[in-house]
Copies of this chain bind each other. A is one copy, B any other.
Amino acid sequence: MEKEGVKLVGFWVSPFAQRVKWALKMKGVEYEYIEEDVWNKSALLLELNPVYKKVPVLVHNGKVLAESRIILEYIDETWKNAPLLMPQDPYERAMARFWADFSEKKVLEAGFEALCTRGERQEKAVSSTIEALEKLEQVLKGKKFLGGDSVGYLDLVVGWLAYMMPIWEELASMKILDSSKFPALDEWINNFLSHPGIKDDLPTEEKMKGYFYHLSRKVAPLFYGGEI
């Protein structure tokens, strides 16, 4: 692999790779995109990320970075031009890290469980997702973006919610993003998806539907012991 330049190893539907694509685009960083087959991992991925064997991996002038939230901070600290992704105040920055981690542990994980389960197990996962979103609703209240007036780190981390959750809701016949319960999040979804560059490079709804239809049916018996 060449030592110069920026390369991103991703997977078309990975929300973790997507946030890195957004960040590079917002910063105006040119890069080579390398599509990985996560179901049949390449020697390159195993070499670049031997610890977790996961996308995304960013390679910058030969330096290799894994873990999407760590990559986002690296991008912001390396390409210091606007827009700044992290808040400049240390407390605001700590809060962005706190809620980013929370959204991963409490919204993404529970939401994915709700996609891949049915019955009581699903009801519980839907409730957990909604409970977690109530906290994000409070964080968002009175702001246009989670980053304040403009899209920032936390918006990019939570961004999957805006375009992926509606697909999950439809596939699993569940309601999570209820606009009467979450007016601020509802507005944020519109604001976020209308932001320049955010919608440009997203996978199509149809392709995502097909992927998650099969993934949820594949994962259900393995992880949750039941068929869906």
Which chain A residues have a beta carbon within 8 Å of chain B's beta carbons?
A: 51, 60, 63, 65-67, 70-71, 73-74, 77-78, 90-91, 93-94, 97-98, 101-102, 135
Contacts and interface: CB of A to CB of B under 8 A. Distances in A.
Contact of A51 (B51, B65, B67, B135): B135
A15 to B, nearest CB: 18
B90 A77 contact: yes
A98 B63 contact: no
B94 A65 contact: yes
Nearest to A80: B90
A96 to B, nearest CB: 10
Given A51-B102, A51-B135, A102-B51, A90 B74 contact: yes
A90 B66 contact: no
Contacts of A97: 67, 70, 73
A93 B91 CA distance: 19
B94 A71 contact: yes
B74 A91 contact: yes
21 contacts: A51-B102, A60-B91, A65-B91, A65-B94, A65-B98, A66-B98, A67-B97, A67-B101, A70-B94, A70-B97, A70-B98, A70-B101, A71-B94, A73-B93, A73-B94, A73-B97, A74-B93, A77-B90, A77-B93, A78-B90, A78-B91
